[in-house]
Amino acid sequence: MTQRHLALTSSYEIADKRLEMSRQWNCFLEERQIPRAVRPVVQNSWKRCMETGVDPTRQQTTVLLSDEDVQKRIANFRLYQLALPILERLAKQTEETGHLLTLCNHDGFILYLCGEQSILQRAEKMNFVVGSQWSEEAIGTNAIGTCLKTGQPVQIFASEHFCEGVHDWTCSSAPIFDPITQNILGVVDLTGPWNYAQPHSLGLVVAASQLIQQRLNEEADRHRYRLMERFWEAHRRYPQDGVVVLDLSFQMVQANTAARRWLANNYACLRQLLYQLMTDHQSNADAQKCKSFQPQTPDVTAIEEVFDDDARIGFLCIIRNKSVVNRSEPLMRSNPSWKDLVGHSPAMVQAMTKCEVVADTDVPVLLLGESGTGKERFARAIHASSRRRDKPFIAINCGAIPKELIAAELFGYEPGTFTGGLKQGKKGKFEEADGGTLFLDEIGEMPLEFQVHLLRVLQEKEILRLGGHRPAKVDVRIIAATHRDLVQMVREKRFRADLFYRLHVISIAIPPLRDRRDDIPLLLDHFVRRFADKYNRPIPKIDPELKAFLVHRYDWPGNVRELENAVEHAMLFCAGDRIDSDHFPHAIGNAYLSDTQEQTCTLLTVDSKNELTFTSDGSPSGEKERLLQILTETGGNLSEAARRLGIARTTLYRRLKKLGIEKRAIIRAGNP
């Protein structure tokens, strides 16, 4: 008899034994209301075990890692740290239930194990210890191995286990997946003596795995965002080069057009290069600190690791290939819009990413945002990075055209249609934009009665000039924009629902500047440089307090347009190398003044006895008490006092210094 026959025969014997056990087993299941259908998942697993020749008489798993290997696997197991707090909480909840909680990696190695000492000792007999492997190949059907094989949560009862040595146990496992590749990263498992089994155990591990999964997804989103941020920074810095970011599994996260062209033929080569670098890097302990490489290839000029805190999350690659540069130059020249679109706030990065994705398609885009947020600039950038970039970009403000002229403006007219019209007739905006992009700004202002005509053109892709008889085909990509709430307008029947859905295939929201203050310093800097260049002047500095006000407290009701105009105004009026509030338009200057006045009512001074007293500007004594109270409450902690007063700590320091207030006095206020 062959080994295989022996194994099969003994598995039949075991099956017989199981039948003997079954009466007792069924009673147990009935008592606990455990569902008892013969489960295909178990049958299939047994089949796999027989096919791979797992010995059903096996008493324990024999694959065991050394301590050193366990540590190595834990270090490479990115789930471990993230899952630990959740597992610790679950371990507390399952204390004294006779169950062992484990976390295994994708190979089925137990890397975390927790439970009662007596149960741990019993489990040791089958080698259920940290570092042992519980794949189906190692020890037959069991929740860990079967869950890894099927990708499904599973509970395996007693004699459902393939190998004899595990028959006294019941285990429940649920998988955790890589959010990007969807490969299984590991499983959470609860294992206990078979007569302690409960259906709830499966629910518990599923809940725990879902919690871990959620954390993992959040982390993946954060990493993705960080990688995108890095991409945009580099894309702006090296507009002539190919720029690509990849995640840790060398999947492309984002790439500009030049990089995409290069990657079409060289992706495999880049992956190999990264793999090689990582292997060399890991074998060189010192290199651990080195975060960028100069690869020895003519095309990839730099590879930089991207980190989130201390964790490496991906790679940024800059590709400078002669052919890439030459081909991308005309693109970049005719496409200044992307690099002129300033901003690195999450909202801007998200909006730009969406635009990049849709740029080369023909789907209509609806841009939503207050006046001056940059909707037209976005529309131009989409056009400029699309394959229509060499054709016209035509913008029309639907709110600025009188109702009766809108049809003629959009569709044109034939000769002799109007008295006073052009003799030869006139092309409409649709015809002018043929092959390119038509930007319908303020679409919410489009007269209701005209909307049906617009809808027809969008559906049929042909226009009929006023006074004409033969429709003409037009190939136009539509980008619309509005500051209005179109959904509300549709509800109020002021905007046609069918037109709304036609335009709203992709919508991109551009938040007001006050909601993305991270972008303000960049924009200030960008416009100061631009106007310094325009007016041929050295680059001045903005007074730091004023800048803090502009960045943190001014509301920018006119958004980027207001900021751009304000900086131009300031550049024209400042003579020296410093911009202060007098150089800005009145509205901003006045807002700054009242802001500082509001804050100077918290002025401090010291009296002749070096005691803290309040204000030289006649503020009411109630306020004096408030400030002294704040300093007392904060124990003289200026940072905390500044926070409570709503002013910067540096501002508070400066004022205290200006007023000659000594630290002693402040401390005394804190400790009277």
Ligand X SMILES: Nc1ncnc2c1ncn2[C@@H]1O[C@H](COP(=O)(O)OP(=O)(O)OP(=O)(O)O)[C@@H](O)[C@H]1O
CB of 564 vs ligand X, minimal distance in Å: 5
- 339 versus 578: smaller Cβ distance to ligand X: 339
Question: C-beta of 577: minimal distance to ligand X in Å?
Answer: 24
Residue with smaller CB distance to ligand X, 587 or 593? 587
Considering the complex, state which of residue 197 and residue 479 has its C-beta at the smaller distance from ligand X: 479
CB of 369 to ligand X, least distance (A): 6
Strands 412-413 and 184-193: unpaired
Q: Is the Cβ of residue 131 or residue 374 nearer to ligand X in the bound state? A: 374
How far apart are the C-alpha atoms of 271 and 269, rounded to whole Å? 5
Per-residue b or e along 296-313, where b marks 16 or more CB atoms closer than 10 Å to that residue's CB: eeebbbbbbbbeeeeeeb
Nearer to ligand X, 148 or 520 (CB): 520
13 alpha carbon, distance to own chain's centre:
56
CB of 403 to ligand X, least distance (A): 20
Strands 365-368 and 506-509, bridge-based pairing: parallel
Q: Which residue is nearest to ligand X (CB)?
A: 374
Residue-by-residue DSSP string for 453-517: HHHHHHHH-EE--BT--S-EE---EEEEEESS-HHHHHHTTSS-HHHHHHH-SEEEE---GGG-T
Closest CB to ligand X among residues 369, 412: 369
CB burial of residue 81 (10 Å; 0-12, 13-18, 19+): exposed
CB of 553 to ligand X, least distance (A): 21
Closest of 13, 91, 95 to residue 55, by C-alpha: 13
CB of 546 to ligand X, least distance (A): 21
**Phi, psi (degrees; rounded to nearest 5) at 498:** -65, -35
CB neighbours of 534 closer than 8 A, spacing ≥ 6?
none
Closest distance to ligand X from the beta carbon of 495 (Å):
17
3-state SS, 283-339, equals HCCHHHHCCEECCCCCCEEEEEEEEECCEEEEEEEEECCHHHHHHHHHHHHCCCHHH
Distance of closest approach, residue 342 Cβ to ligand X, in angstroms: 4
Q: Is the Cβ of residue 355 or residue 612 nearer to ligand X in the bound state? A: 355
Residue 539's nearest CA partner among 584, 583, 581, 577 is: 577
Cβ closer to ligand X: 303 or 352? 352
Please say which residue, 123 or 508, places its beta carbon nearer to ligand X. 508
Q: How far is the CB of 410 from ligand X (least distance, A)?
A: 18
* Closer residue to ligand X (CB): 195 or 371: 371
Q: What is the nearest approach in angstroms of ligand X to the Cβ of residue 198?
A: 58
Query: In the complex with ligand X, which residue's Cβ is closer, 299 or 519?
Result: 519
| In the complex, least distance from residue 372 CB atom to ligand X, rounded to whole angstroms | 5
- Look-up: residue for tokens 């599973």? 154
CA-nearest of 336, 237, 343, 352 to 559 is 343
Residues at the contact surface with ligand X, assessed by CB under 6 A: 340-343, 369, 371-377, 441, 483, 560-561, 564
Asked if residues 148 and 167 have their Cβ atoms less than 8 Å apart, the reply is: no
Token pair of 479 as six digits: 């980008």
d(CA 256, CA 356) in angstroms, rounded, equals 9
Are 356 and 289 within 8 A, CB to CB?
no
Distance between CA atoms of 17 and 27, rounded to whole angstroms? 17
Q: Who contacts 24 (Cβ-Cβ below 8 Å, separation ≥6)?
A: none
